[in-house]
Structure 1
Amino acid sequence: MLLEVQNLKIDFKTHDGTIDAVHDLSFSIERGEAVGIVGESGSGKSQSVLALMGLLAGNARVTGSARLAPGSKGGAPVELLGAKPRVLRRVRGARIAMIFQDPMTALNPHLKISTQMIELLRAHRGMGKRAAMRAAIDMLEAVRIPEAARRIKYYPHQFSGGMRQRVMIAMALSCEPELLIADEPTTALDVTVQDEILELIAELRERSNTALLLITHDLGVVAGQCSRALVMRGGDLVEHGSIEKVFNAPEAQYTRDLLAAIPRLEG
């Protein structure tokens, strides 16, 4: 077991009262496994993974447990919920990496891509500046960015949306994390570019046996990328099982409604 989440609850204190975002969510991920969390906007998908990364807003209250198994060098399991900032800094990027919906807001617009990637590699892999630059270029080439040695010196705004997402994937996988969290990684991209990005993530994961937690509202993406699916609605987990079970024999009416809403060419 790589990650085990138990009884995760999230609420937010506001001027209008308390907003319950996630209710008693439990799931696990094995090493190398791909798990999808699906549901409509506001179902609690993104808030759940942001809680694991320690990235929720300051008015959030989180309870439950999220235990990350010992790494390849051994040691004790890491409790992510409520962990001290120094503990999360060691985990984020190195053991768990995240691809966000909008790479333009996730990347620092004031720094060149080279600066951002080198800083990451030096912090988490202890590389010297020259070795980090070489590794960063290699990673950009791995995500099929043409003329990587030249374009690594670009600023984020000099890349197209699809290319920025490739940069985000390169950064996320450059430290060889054990778990990759992808939060709606293709939402703002053209359909053809979406397919390229998803194929790229699958290919790079297979090379490194990286586990994937994929957050999306697109059931088709989950079917193509994952072996298990969690279906959320209004902060609740309403369905959980293998892709075959969820798609062919769903138990929850909400899951059946989601499947029925998928456009079909026939009929």
Structure 2
Amino acid sequence: MSRDSNDPSVSKPLRWLVNWSLGICALAVLGRGVFLTLTLPDPTSGIALLGAGLVLALASTIERFSKFKGLGIEAELKAVEQKLDRAEEILGQIQRLSVLVNRNAIRQAAEGGRWNAGLTHDELHRLVGEVRAQLKDVGTPPSEVAIALAPWADVVLWDWAVKIMEPWLAATRQKAHELWTEASALNHQGAPHELANAKRQESDETRQKPLAEFEALHTVSRDQLESGLLTVLDRFPNYPGEAETVRAELRAWAQELAHLRTHHDLLTPSKWFKFLAPQQ
């Protein structure tokens, strides 16, 4: 900035311009924050914009922190320049965050209700990376960043658990199908209805009980999921081959899982994307 600090005509227009510019930006950001908070299922993005709007509103009172020449008071334009530079930096961060928030809000609105409209794990990971970078730029503490990214980590981990357990779950479904087939055969053979009904009940329990035990793990913490999977395998020992396959996979993924829990990020993204990709 190249302003003559001895020219008293500079301070008043500069102060007016700075205050009004920041005030208008504050109103726009606060308005958008209120809109997103009231319309989106998850109000986190709107709350973030509300906080940014408050920062801009406070910045619009910049004249409280810098003295301008007038009535014999020496101007401190250097302090004003520093405030303006900081305000410009904050505005740039808010603009980038606003683009990120609005882009995904538009995508949700455009794709809502469509079949297979959700983001792939690759797309989700890129979005998480952008969010992580923006939060870091605005000085968000690591603990708060972890809280913001926790829902994504939970989704990835549960999808992984479903894929890991699929051989074992498939074995339970196959056994249930065999029992149901035996029940139908008993009916065709004219066997007592009680025998056929008992086979059908056994078929239902063979399929439903292991599945219920597994789905109950959806509510446990990330730190307890692996031990929970092993507990389920131990409670239903009728499928030893499939159970050993799952245990081997758990050992092979130990390092990746530890990194996800600790850093809320993927150690080897390509490995995750390939494993979690839908089967064609």
Q: Which has the larger radius of gyration?
A: 2
The TM-score with structure 2 as length reference comes to 0.22
Structure of greater relative contact order (alpha carbons < 8 Å, 6+ residues apart): 1
The structure richer in strand per residue is 1
The structure richer in helix per residue is 2
